[in-house]
């Protein structure tokens, strides 16, 4: 039933106006109709609002209260306190900022660089083999190890952590973009553009780039989720964001020693991390279903 | 089954009574198929003819129970297979009927076969599911049916994979699979559309032969009246989901009653070339000498598999002339076209435009010549960027060569008029147009460059026959109006007969015959040309369209 029945017949009134009028539903409506985008997006919005406005209502995340050490939750401190008497609730809220910023910046960074590299690799055959072998090399090294190595080279700051997490994500983006470019460049409309003398950069921007946007948005959400996890793992291993900036990873790392005594130090940031990553991935699934089921499945 | 034999002998194999299939709410009409009734008798070939959207495929798929019933709902009527109503059957009952009592073959045998399974095993699988045979009996039966469909050396082909076979052999395997259980009804959904014309002739012969020997009732779906003339006992003509005419094939073809049938028949291009105006042979627009295109990877020691896609091709097209390049798939006709447009780089030879050889020019040196040669592709659905408006697509080329946006748009508006579309549609997107309209837009886009040479690479092959006739006429009109040299590439000898001044026949990368259309058709000198002409379906039937 895929082809014939709904296609309009054109035998008679050919010289009339187009077959159908523009009646595509608004993209935003279409997206919100998908339940996982709706609920995942809602959860994500809550997290973003907490990250932006939460700190206005809490205290100082690094204020030490030695008298108030390892207090259990639901007392004076909702989420309890850690071994220095710092308020876990405040720290988890500040940690949301780090996680969301890392997720966003890493996915922007990986997608924008990967897009350029992938387009070049897919369209200019001379560079293809070299670029793809470098990407294969990157993929052969476990992402966490590569990130730790990069951080140990330059020292841990927010920027180096972002770059260290983004670089292992690059090959995925490059391969996706390259595969889209390789299939789209064979399309007759691209060949028509070539034969009417369109210059290469215009072909790439006008005819090929738009085809990569939908799958890239989907991939970006997955990268965002995995970047937040990687940041936490790096923090937990002590190789991530420096301890004076609270991130969910390093809060858990510091709570590890007291896990038996005061599990809440690990429990609350863990829950926050799980919920955020879940929300991002659920939104990603919804976007994949809505935007481009066919291409996105190739990933 | 034997108990039913007496009864089944009197009944038609398939009887459809008042069948209606409802389309989903948001479709452009209410029913895919509306109040359709017809019969397929034992040992009878019934052709269901119609253009795209006529509901012929939906009818066939409804009989097989292969439609998604949630989307397409049969709401009225009966489908009686040897007296049993298929619409009342459950999915598991249908599954056992499929294969045993009815079978279907499809258009594209490559995708209908499992690529990672030996073809013999695929046929045997049918028997394994539906019969209690032992493995040995199954293998014997498979070899028997493979012999039955005239496959050479069944013993060896049994162990082949689909990709190792030719298109015709694959379609024979599909037919063997369909016939393994000797079903009473065979549904063939455009089974020869994807095949070359000589292979098509063989497959049609095979289907006729099988119907004669086994008494199978065949429901044959096609858009091609040539095929109908070749094979049908009776014809059902469908339009917009309704049967508009049915009758004995010879009667319908010689004396169509319904206006739609008349129009369809009149749109089928005749195999007899019309008399064409003489062409001024003083002004060559494009010529190629010794054009070569070789694909192949050099091995480590200089050896390797080499494919000669085009070999020593010589051609010249004059202004105001149409040169037809005909041949089957793999003959190299498209390779030649793509070399001339320089979408691929020729391996050797010359391509002369304006006395300049462009075969070896780099991209920037080539650029001024790009506008001289324009191409219209086969697939109207992929030839326009879906994200850009028609206007943007048309003005892109002229603006590459320095025309301002306003001037280019003005030219686009004039061209829309030339190709028979309204100038107001320039700000619409391609998805709002039908296939024929898109092909007109592609022609306008090519003309916007003011080319000297227009290449039509199977430009009408994907269109319905009535639309095809209109686009052919348009192409001939613009050739005259703009004094274009046209290189018309096609596999369809009927189309070539109507539009080409001269014909060039290609086989396996080489030109085997070249000459004025009328001469080549009347007295083909090369054996391959003769076999092509002999294989054209319905060659003994006179069809309507005579371009002029």
What pLDDT sits at residue A82?
84
Nearest Cα residue in chain A from B390 = A18
What pLDDT sits at residue A32?
78
Nearest Cα residue in chain A from B398 = A196
Torsion of CA A140, A145, A151, A153, to 10 degrees: -70
CA distances from A134 to A138, A141, A220, B209, B300 (A): 6, 11, 21, 59, 24
Query: What are the chain A neighbours of B56 within 8 Å (beta carbons)?
Result: 4
Residue B383 is nearest to which of A14, A188, A207, comparing CB atoms?
A: A188
> What is the C-alpha separation between B137 and B49, in angstroms, rounded?
39
Over the range B181-219, which residues count as b (16 or more CB within 10 Å of their CB) and which as e? bebbbbbbbbbbebbbbebbbbbbebbeebbeebebbbb
| Cβ contact A197–B263 (<8 Å) | no
* B90 within 8 A of B96, measured Cβ to Cβ: no
Three-state secondary structure call for residue B359: coil
ipTM of the complex: 0.83
Q: Which distant-in-sequence residues (6+ apart) come within 8 Å of B87 by Cβ?
A: B74, B77, B78, B79
Nearest Cα residue in chain B from A7 = B53
| Cβ contact B433–A9 (<8 Å) | no
What pLDDT sits at residue B405?
93
The DSSP 8-state label assigned to residue A207 in this structure reads: I
Question: What is the token pair recorded at A227?
Answer: 């970047």
Query: What are the chain B neighbours of A10 within 8 Å (beta carbons)?
Result: 434-437, 464, 467
Torsion of CA B2, B4, B6, B12, to 10 degrees: -130
CA-based max dimension of chain A: 89
| Cβ contact B393–A9 (<8 Å) | no
Q: Which distant-in-sequence residues (6+ apart) come within 8 Å of A249 by Cβ?
A: A231, A232, A233, A234, A235, A236, A240, A241
Residue B341 is nearest to which of A17, A195, A200, comparing CB atoms?
A: A195
Q: Which distant-in-sequence residues (6+ apart) come within 8 Å of B18 by Cβ?
A: B35, B36, B37, B76, B77, B78
Helix axes B135-148, B167-179, angle to 10 degrees: 130
Residue A1 is nearest to which of B68, B449, B464, comparing CB atoms?
A: B68
Interface test with B, best of A10, A24, A198, A199 (most B CBs within 10 A): A10
B371 — contact with chain A (CB < 8 Å)? yes
* B445 within 8 A of B437, measured Cβ to Cβ: no
Query: What are the chain B neighbours of A206 within 8 Å (beta carbons)?
Result: 385, 388, 396
Question: What is the token pair recorded at A123?
Answer: 């369209």
> What is the C-alpha separation between B299 and B319, in angstroms, rounded?
44
- What does pLDDT average to in each consecutive run of 10 residues of chain B (548 residues)? 50 92 83 93 93 89 87 89 89 88 87 90 90 90 90 88 88 90 91 86 90 91 90 94 93 91 89 86 90 76 74 93 91 92 92 90 89 92 91 94 93 94 92 92 95 94 89 94 94 92 93 94 93 87 64
Closest CA to B509 of B338, B350, B327, B357: B327
B111 — contact with chain A (CB < 8 Å)? no
Radius of gyration over alpha carbons of chain A, in Å? 24
B382 — contact with chain A (CB < 8 Å)? yes
| Cβ contact A195–B375 (<8 Å) | yes
pTM, entire model:
0.84
Closest CA to A82 of A289, A253, A198, A226: A253
B400 — contact with chain A (CB < 8 Å)? yes
Question: What is the token pair recorded at B43?
Answer: 């040992």
Q: Which distant-in-sequence residues (6+ apart) come within 8 Å of B335 by Cβ?
A: B293, B309, B310, B344, B509
* B484 within 8 A of B319, measured Cβ to Cβ: yes
Question: What is the token pair recorded at A121?
Answer: 């690799």
Query: What are the chain A neighbours of B71 within 8 Å (beta carbons)?
Result: 1
Torsion of CA B200, B201, B203, B204, to 10 degrees: 110
| Cβ contact B388–A1 (<8 Å) | no
| Cβ contact B437–A18 (<8 Å) | yes
List the 143-172 stretch of B: residues with Cβ below 8 A of A: none
Residues of chain A with pLDDT under 50: 1-23, 295-299
CA distances from A285 to A25, A222, A266, A292, B147 (A): 20, 9, 28, 11, 51
For residue B194, the distance in angstroms to the closest alpha carbon of chain A comes to 16
For residue B27, the distance in angstroms to the closest alpha carbon of chain A comes to 6
Interface test with B, best of A195, A199, A213 (most B CBs within 10 A): A195
Query: What are the chain B neighbours of A193 within 8 Å (beta carbons)?
Result: 385, 396
């Amino acid at each position: 039933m895929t082809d014939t029945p709904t296609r309009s017949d054109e035998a008679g009134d050919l010289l009339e106006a187009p077959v159908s009028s523009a009646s595509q539903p608004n993209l935003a409506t279409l997206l919100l109709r998908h339940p996982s985008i709706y609920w995942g997006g809602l959860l994500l919005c809550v997290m973003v609002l907490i990250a932006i406005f939460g700190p206005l209502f809490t205290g100082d995340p690094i204020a030490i209260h030695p008298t108030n050490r390892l207090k259990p939750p639901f007392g004076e401190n909702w989420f309890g306190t850690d071994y220095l008497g710092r308020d876990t609730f405040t720290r988890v809220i500040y940690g949301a900022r780090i996680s969301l910023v890392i997720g966003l910046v890493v996915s922007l960074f990986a997608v924008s660089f990967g897009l350029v590299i992938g387009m070049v690799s897919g369209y200019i055959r001379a560079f293809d083999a070299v670029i793809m072998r470098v990407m294969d090399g990157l993929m052969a090294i476990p992402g966490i190890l590569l990130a730790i190595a990069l951080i140990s080279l330059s020292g841990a700051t927010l920027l180096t952590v972002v770059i260290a997490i983004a670089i292992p994500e690059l090959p995925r983006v490059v391969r996706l973009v390259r595969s889209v470019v390789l299939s789209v460049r064979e399309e007759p409309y691209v060949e028509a553009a070539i034969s009417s003398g369109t210059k290469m950069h215009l072909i790439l921007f006008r005819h090929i780039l738009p085809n990569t946007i939908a799958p890239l948005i989907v991939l970006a959400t997955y990268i965002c989720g995995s970047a937040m996890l990687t940041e936490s793992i790096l923090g937990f291993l002590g190789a991530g964001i420096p301890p004076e900036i609270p991130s969910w990873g390093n809060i858990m790392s510091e709570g590890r020693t007291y896990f038996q005594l005061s599990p809440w130090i690990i429990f609350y940031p863990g829950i926050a991390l799980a919920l955020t990553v879940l929300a991002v991935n659920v939104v990603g699934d919804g976007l994949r279903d809505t935007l481009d089921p066919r291409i996105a499945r190739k990933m | 089954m034997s108990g039913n034999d007496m009864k089944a002998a009197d009944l038609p194999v398939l009887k459809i009574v008042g069948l209606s299939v409802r389309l989903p709410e948001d479709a452009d009409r209410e029913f895919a198929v509306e109040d359709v009734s017809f019969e397929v008798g034992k040992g009878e070939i019934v052709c269901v003819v119609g253009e795209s959207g006529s509901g012929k495929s939906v009818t066939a798929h409804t009989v097989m129970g292969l439609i998604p019933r949630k989307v397409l709902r049969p709401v009225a009527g009966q489908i009686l297979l040897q007296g049993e109503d298929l619409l009342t059957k459950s999915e598991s009952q249908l599954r056992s009927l499929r294969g045993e009592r009815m079978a279907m073959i499809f258009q594209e045998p490559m995708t209908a076969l499992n690529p990672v399974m030996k073809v013999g095993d695929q046929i045997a699988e049918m028997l394994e599911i539906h019969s209690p045979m032992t493995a040995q009996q199954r293998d014997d039966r498979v070899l028997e049916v493979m012999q039955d469909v005239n496959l050479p050396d069944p013993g060896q082909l049994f162990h082949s994979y689909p990709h190792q076979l030719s298109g015709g052999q694959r379609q024979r395997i599909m037919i063997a699979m369909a016939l393994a259980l000797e079903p009473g009804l065979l549904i063939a959904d455009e089974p020869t559309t994807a095949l070359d014309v000589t292979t098509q002739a063989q497959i049609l012969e095979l289907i006729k032969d099988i119907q004669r020997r086994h008494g199978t009732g065949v429901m044959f779906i096609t858009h091609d009246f040539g095929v109908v003339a070749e094979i049908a006992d009776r014809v059902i003509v469908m339009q917009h989901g309704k049967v508009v005419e049915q009758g004995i094939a010879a009667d319908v073809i010689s004396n169509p009653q319904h206006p739609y049938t008349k129009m369809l028949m009149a749109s089928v291009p005749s195999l007899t070339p019309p008399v064409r105006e003489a062409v001024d042979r003083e002004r060559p627009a494009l010529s190629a000498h010794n054009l070569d295109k070789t694909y192949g990877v050099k091995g480590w020691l200089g050896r390797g598999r080499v494919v000669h896609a085009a070999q020593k091709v010589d051609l010249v097209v004059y202004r105001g002339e149409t040169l037809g390049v005909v041949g089957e798939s793999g003959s190299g006709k498209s390779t030649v076209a793509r070399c001339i447009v320089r979408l691929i780089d020729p391996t050797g030879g010359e391509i002369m435009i304006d006395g300049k050889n462009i075969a070896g020019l780099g991209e920037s040196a080539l650029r001024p010549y790009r506008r001289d040669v324009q191409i219209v592709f086969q697939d109207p659905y992929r030839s326009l960027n879906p994200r850009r408006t028609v206007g943007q697509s048309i003005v892109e080329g002229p603006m590459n060569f320095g025309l301002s946006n306003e001037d280019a748009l003005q030219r686009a508006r004039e061209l829309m008029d030339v190709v028979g579309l309204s100038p107001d549609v320039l700000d619409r997107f391609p998805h709002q147009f039908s296939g024929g309209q898109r092909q007109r837009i592609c022609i306008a886009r090519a003309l916007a460059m003011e080319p000297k040479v227009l290449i039509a690479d199977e430009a009408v092959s994907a269109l319905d026959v009535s639309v095809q006739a209109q686009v052919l006429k348009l192409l001939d009109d613009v050739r005259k109006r703009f004094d274009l040299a046209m290189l018309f590439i096609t596999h369809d000898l009927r189309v070539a007969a109507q539009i080409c001044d001269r014909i060039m026949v290609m086989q396996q990368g080489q030109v085997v015959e070249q000459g004025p259309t009328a001469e080549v058709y009347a007295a083909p000198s090369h054996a391959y040309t003769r076999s092509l002409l002999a294989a054209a379906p319905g060659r003994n039937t006179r069809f309507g369209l005579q371009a002029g």
